[in-house]
């Protein structure tokens, strides 16, 4: 069963989620949907294979350039070992691929206590905080 992690917790199955969902594929250009971001309930970025890293750039652009504040959900081939980077790029919800141990996956957010670069999670790079 695929499990949803939202804001660092396993989300409880609830009533059907309401609102418009905008779904982006790796080749989609976030600039083209920038005008619609205020009106959607959430944005989903699909990872057909976890090794296709385009979704990371899409997430940063949505957050940092187009000011998207709502839920940003990684879907598709989403596994425990990518959660840390995904969350740093601005994803706050993760629909885990089937077969992933959700409890174990939660630990991934704490794999590292610090990071060098600027990111959505911490807009100031380490060298400005050191």
Partner 1 sequence: MYLYDEIDQSIVDERVAQFRDQTRRFLAGKISEDDFRPLRLQNGLYIQRYAPMLRVAIPYGILSSTQLRMLAHIARKYDRGYGHFSTRQNIQYNWPKVEETPDILADLASVQMHAIQTSGNCVRNITADHFAGVARDEIVDSFVWCELLRQWSTFHPEFAYLPRKFKIAVNGAEADRAATFLHDIGLHAVRGGTGEAGFRVIVGGGMGRTPVIGHVIREFLPWQHLLSYVEAILRVYNRYGRRDNIYKARIKILVRERGPDKFREEVEAEWEQLRDGPSTLTQAEVRRVEGRFVSPRYEALEDLYLAPSGPFGAWMKRNVFPHKRPGYAAVTLSLKKTGVPPGDATDAQMEAIAELADRYSFGELRVTHEQNLVLADVRQERLEALWRELNALGLATPNIGLLTNIIACPGGDFCSLANAKSIPVAEAIQRLFDDLDYLHDIGELDLNISGCINSCGHHHVGHIGVLGVDKQGAEYYQITIGGNQGETQTGQTARRTPAAVGKVIGPSFAQHEVPWVVERLIEVYLDQRESEDERFVDCAHRLGIEPFKQNVYGHADSPRQDRAAVAA
Task: Render 26-84 in DSSP notation, one character per residue.
Answer: TT--GGGGGGGGGG-SEEEEEESSTT-THHHHHHHIIIIIS---SEEEEEES--GGGHH
Q: Determine which residue in the list 15, 51, 69, 98 makes contact with partner 1, applying CB under 8 A.
A: 51
Q: Site map for partner 1, 69-108, x if CB under 8 A?
A: ----------x-x--xxx-xx-----------x-------
Stretch that binds partner 1, among 4-12, 14-22, 68-76, 111-119 (CB under 8 A): 111-119
112 binds partner 1 (CB under 8 A): yes
Neighbour count for residue 70 (Cβ, 10 Å):
16
Q: Are 72 and 62 in contact (CB under 8 A)?
A: yes
Site residues, partner 1 (CB under 8 A): 50-54, 56-57, 60, 65, 79, 81, 84-86, 88-89, 101, 111-119, 123-128, 130
């Amino acid at each position: 069963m695929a499990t949803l992690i939202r804001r660092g917790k396993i989300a409880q199955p609830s009533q059907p989620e309401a609102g418009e969902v905008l779904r982006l594929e790796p080749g989609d250009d976030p600039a083209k949907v920038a005008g619609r971001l205020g009106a959607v309930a959430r944005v989903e970025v699909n990872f057909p294979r976890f090794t296709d890293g385009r979704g990371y750039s899409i997430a940063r652009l949505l957050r940092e350039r187009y000011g998207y504040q709502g839920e940003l959900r990684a879907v598709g081939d989403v596994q425990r070992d990518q959660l840390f980077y995904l969350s740093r790029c601005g994803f706050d919800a993760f629909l885990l691929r089937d077969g992933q141990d959700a409890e174990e996956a939660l630990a991934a957010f704490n794999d590292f206590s610090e990071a060098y670069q600027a990111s959505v999670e911490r807009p100031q790079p380490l060298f400005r905080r050191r």
